[in-house]
Structures are given as C-alpha cells and as structure tokens.
Amino acid sequence: MFTILVLCTGNSCRSQIAEGYLRHFSGNKAQIFSAGIETHGLNPGAVRTMAQDGIDISAHTSNHIDEYRQLEVDLVLTVCDHAQENCPYFPSQAIRLHCNFPDPAKATGSPEELDAEFRRVRDSIKSYCANLINTYLAS
C-alpha cells in the first residue's frame, strides 16, 4: 500500500491538517502518517477548522519523526521550510515533496481574524492534498 509521511516542525497544525485531508482524499488507497522534528501537541485551532469542513482530527496525536524511522515510505511531504531544512536524514527512496504553508498558529489579531487565517491555510492545504492524491493515486 502507498505510504505517505507528512513532516512539519511540531506536528501540531499544518501537518495534522494535511494528514486529515490526505486520509480523506485517499480513502483506503494509502497509509498516511504525520510527524514533527519536535512535538507540540495537537493545535485546537487546527481541530476546529477541520471540523468546520467535516474532517475530524481530534484523535490525532503529535508524533516525533523518530517513531517512523523504520517505516517504508513512498512519499515524504514537508509542509514548512523549517522541517525541510532541519529534518534529520530520513533513510528512504521515497519521493520527496515540499510546500511551505504559513503557520496559522502564529497569526495575530481578533478571534475572527485568527479563524479566517486558519481557514485560509486549511483551504490551501486541502487543495494541495487533493492534487497530490490525484497525481500519485489516480486510477
């Protein structure tokens, strides 16, 4: 089965959103995991914004990349520049993709402005993930 690992700095927001959408779009055609070079816990804003789009990520956990060292991975996706630049060597023949998404957890402003930023980033990740699945798992 095709296996995708999504990497971010803290595995709390962007990588969790990507994992949720990749699972949704791939159905039962792929195994999807996410991890961070650190672990920051699941971001409540990510959970909330995904729930608004009908995707429940509330049971996800924040995992460290070391937990997946022995996993046979077909595709590694980094979703922030920091993870791409600081990720320790990951021994794999996997396809490596990178797309830097802004961190909505670092946004400032009113609660409405923060929610809008989470939705904006979520929608960007959603579109990217849909295209990725169509590209690598279309059949």
13, 87, 99, 129: which is the annotated catalytic residue? Answer: 87
87: annotated active-site residue: yes
129: annotated active-site residue: no
d(CA 42, CA 63) in angstroms, rounded, equals 10
8, 13, 99, 129: which is the annotated catalytic residue? Answer: 8
Q: For residue 126, which of 28, 75, 52 has the smallest C-alpha distance?
A: 52
8: annotated active-site residue: yes
- Tokens standing for residue 122: 């979520």
Which residues belong to the active site? 8, 80, 87
